[in-house]
Amino acid sequence: MKCIICDKKVEELHHFSDDPAQNCWSAGLVEWVTAGYGSAFDTSRFLICLCDRCLLNVKASNDS
């Protein structure tokens, strides 16, 4: 899968499940997110990927 921020490819390390969020990923994460009430995408579910570098940048910007 590709990171939704920088488009870097995150490789799957181990395939345990047909649900990608349950599998092992190298240098990134893959998770399901669900848009809440009030969003234009209310109740929609999306599978997203974030590489570790972008995740660290997001965390750093939220810590300040």
Helix, strand, coil shares of the chain as percentages rounded to 5? 25, 35, 45
Q: Quick check: is 4 in a domain?
A: no
Q: Quick check: is 37 in a domain?
A: yes
Q: Quick check: is 56 in a domain?
A: yes
> Is the distance from CB of 52 to CB of 27 less than 8 angstroms?
yes
Q: Quick check: is 3 in a domain?
A: no
Q: Quick check: is 7 in a domain?
A: no
Domain coverage including residue 56 = 12-63
Q: Quick check: is 47 in a domain?
A: yes
pLDDT, tens only, 2-58: 999 999 999 999 999 999 999 999 999 999 999 999 999 999 999 999 999 999 999
Q: What is the pTM of this model?
A: 0.84
Q: Phi and psi dihedrals of 48, rounded to 5?
A: -120, 160
Confidence of residue 64 (pLDDT cuts 50, 70, 90): confident
Give which of 50, 46, 47 is closest to 6, Cα–Cα: 50
Q: Quick check: is 1 in a domain?
A: no
Structural domains of the chain, count: 1
